Amino acid sequence: LKGPVEPMAVTLQIIPFGANERLVMARDITHVKRLEDMRQHFVADVSHELRTPLTVLHGFLETFADLFEGQDGEVRSGIALMREQVERMRRLVDDLLALSRLETTPARAHDDVVDMGALLKGLADIATVLGADRGQRIEVENCGADLVGNVDELRSAFTNLVQNAVRHTPAGGSIRLVWRADASEGRFVVIDSGEGIAERHIPFLTQRFYRVDSDRSRASGGTGLGLAIVAKVLLRHDARLAVESVLGRGSTFTCVFPSSRLKFPPDPSRAPPP
């Protein structure tokens, strides 16, 4: 081989063969990996470039909205429509950037001790504000253990689950946020009494842009990227997402963390005598 050797990406498959032998199959996936890297960087660059023009549009539309306030007519409704669409694009660009950051940056040492009491309170406040006009009942249950990880990523993942619960639960429904932990694992659970999801959709929910009912989801402000972000964050925390749902009855989204991610408060009964 001449010149520098490029790093290769390979998958290895080990197949038992005969009594004591193993067959090792190596597949060169360098080109697949390279294409995937190009896709990720392209999406990140485009999203980044779109941010500035969208901010300018947003700013001017706010000014126009003020100028035409109190007047009836086509111009005002046109401005309202443009503001709504620009807002949607901003949400989409923010979600695309968040997703590509999770895909392209290595998971840094995820060792913040996350105060779950404070995080749950913040999430309950978000649910209350988002569902203010729906009178949803918000309940919180906290086991008192803390979680070890990246607080910003975890907050954004949990917020996505809470936002979804609020969006898909009708007026008067209930949303429960539960944090439970034992010696083997920790579970952050969002339970809603909303519209539910048909079973056939469940395996695809964490795919980018997958929507159960695209019109309804778009109208409710969703970008189709929320659960993809949740899945990526959980992967970076050695955790997984479990979804259970009954159409018309509600959904339960559970984030399951391994015990290595848990921190329990010291047990006073085990404290050494003074």
Pick the closer one to ligand ADP by CB: 210 or 264: 210
Give the count of residues interacting with ligand ADP (CB under 6 A): 22
Alpha-carbon distance of 78 to 76, in angstroms, equals 5
Closest Cα to residue 52, out of 1, 13, 97?
97
The minimum distance between CB 206 and ligand ADP, in angstroms, equals 7
Which range of residues in 32-40, 117-125, 157-165, 181-189 is near ligand ADP by CB under 6 A? 157-165
Which is nearer to ligand ADP, 168 or 237 (by Cβ)? 168
Write down the least CB distance from residue 13 to ligand ADP, Å: 32
Per DSSP, 259 falls in state: G
Compute φ and ψ for 126, nearest 5 degrees.
-60, -45
Can you tell me which residue has the tokens 């620009």? Answer: 86
Q: Which residues does 38 contact at the CB level (< 8 Å), separation at least 6?
A: none
By CB under 6 A, residue 194 contacts ligand ADP: yes
According to the binding rule CB under 6 A, does residue 131 interact with ligand ADP? Answer: no
Residue 158 sits in the site that holds ligand ADP (CB under 6 A): no
Query: Does residue 262 interact with ligand ADP by CB under 6 A?
Result: no
77 alpha-carbon distance from chain centroid: 33
Residue with tokens 């669409």: 85
Q: Does 162 bind ligand ADP (CB under 6 A)?
A: no
Closer to ligand ADP by Cβ: residue 153 or 195: 195
The residue within the footprint of ligand ADP, chosen from 136, 150, 193, 217 (CB under 6 A), is 217
Residues 6+ apart with CB under 8 A from 59: none
Residue closer to ligand ADP (CB basis): 148 or 234:
234
What does each C-alpha distance from 76 to 54, 79, 87, 136 come to in angstroms? 20, 5, 16, 32
Residues that bind ligand ADP (CB under 6 A): 160, 164-165, 168, 192, 194-195, 197, 205, 210-213, 217, 222-228, 251
